[in-house]
Each structure stands twice: as structure tokens, then as C-alpha cells.
Amino acid sequence: MENAQQVNRNNHSADEQRKKSDPRLTAFYDLYNTLSPDTAGTAMLRRHLEVVYAEHIEFSDPIHRVTGLDEMERYFEGLYENITYIEFNFHNALVNGDEGAVHWTMIYRHPRLKGGKKDIRVEGVSLLRWRDGKITRHQDIFDAGSLLYEHLPILGSVIRKLKERMA
């Protein structure tokens, strides 16, 4: 992509990369770096959502479909109320005009998965579309098995065996 701006970012050089980053990406990173069980349902979460997302945001991932800022806020509240820890590491981003892609790793702990004591790592990519500086379309692409299903007691072993056979 000729006019594309590539942005590399990881937690080790976050301040340096933030200065080089597209301001829309910086706001996106800031939102996801503030998400936690403590921020779910707070005015701070709503303020961050309003900075990053358009009122009529369309969000999807392999498990959910959400339309509108109010529904997005409820989605985050529900998602984060049951986890005990979450962290996002952003690796690379590519922005071309009003479209972009961000590669990330999510690390989280849930009390009912892996005994609530072990980190679960999920690699993913967010496809983003902006209008007037706000995200209007956000699609997360990741392996839903690695997010959830592989960590369920009975289903997890079946999915892991299937993945091994297919590899």
C-alpha cells in the first residue's frame, strides 16, 4: 500500500511509538489499555468509548455483534465484569486513509477458566474504519477456540485434539 502508514507498537516502547502513531490509533490503544474489571460500568469507560467510537458503531467478533455506542458500552461491561485480569499488547498497525488494521495479543484471566490462576493468551487483528476521526466499523478476528472453548473442561480437550489432527 503506497500511502499506508505502518505503526509498530509494543509495551516496551509505548511512549516512543505513541508519539509516532496516528492519533486515532493512540485513542484506540488508550481505550483498550484502560479496560479492566475496575473500569467496567464507569463514566471513564463511557468517555473513552465516546472519544474512539462513532454513535452508530458496528462491532463484531467471532462471538458477538454489537450496534451503537450504548450497546457497545453494555458489551464491555458484561465482558469485563467476570474477568480478574486483562492486558492488551499492540504489535503492529497499518493505516491507509480511513481504514486500518491492528495486530494485538490479549492476555486475560477468568475465574472459571484454568482455575482462574493461569493467563490465557489470544492473538488477534482488529479491522477498523473511521469517519470524522471516530471508528464506525470494528471487526475483531481471532480464534474463538483459543479465547474460550479450548479452556472449558470437556469441550477444551476435544477442540485441542481436533486442532492437533488438523495440523
pTM of the model: 0.76
Mean pLDDT within 144-158 = 53
The CATH number given to whatever domain includes residue 47 is: 3.10.450.50
- Chain segment 106-128, per-residue pLDDT in tens: 888 777 665 556 788 889 999 99
Per-residue pLDDT, 92: 93
Range of the domain at 159: 5-166
Q: Please report the DSSP string for the chain in residue order.
A: -TT-EEEE--GGGHHHHHHHS-HHHHHHHHHHHH-STTTTTSHHHHHHHHHHEEEEEEEE-SS-EEESHHHHHHHHHHHHSS-SEEEEEEEEEEEETTEEEEEEEEEEE-TTSGGGTS-EEEEEEEEEEEETTEEEEEEEEE-HHHHTGGGSHHHHHHHHHHHHHH-
The total number of structural domains that make up the chain: 1
Task: Compute the mean pLDDT over every residue in the chain, rounded to the nearest whole number.
Answer: 79
Work out the percent of the chain whose per-residue pLDDT is above 90: 45
